[in-house]
Structure 1
């Protein structure tokens, strides 16, 4: 059970990193378009 929780946490952190980088890229591209 503990191993399952650790895998779940690692997956969540990876998803957050991917979504965070995607949001940052989208934000910077939108700023470049405005400028």
Structure 2
């Protein structure tokens, strides 16, 4: 059986990666549209 601490750590890392990808995509879209952030 998997410990809840292991699961929490793994899931938090995945969410962090997803958040970073969203920020990168937002910057790419802003540059593509010629907008300023």
Question: Structure 2 length normalisation: TM-score?
Answer: 0.81
Unaligned runs of 5+ in 1: none
* RMSD of Structure 2 on Structure 1 (CA): 1.5
Unaligned runs of 5+ in 2: none
Q: Which runs of 4+ in 1 moved over 6 A?
A: none
Question: Structure 1 length normalisation: TM-score?
Answer: 0.85
| Structure with more helix by fraction | 1
Residues paired across the two proteins, number: 34
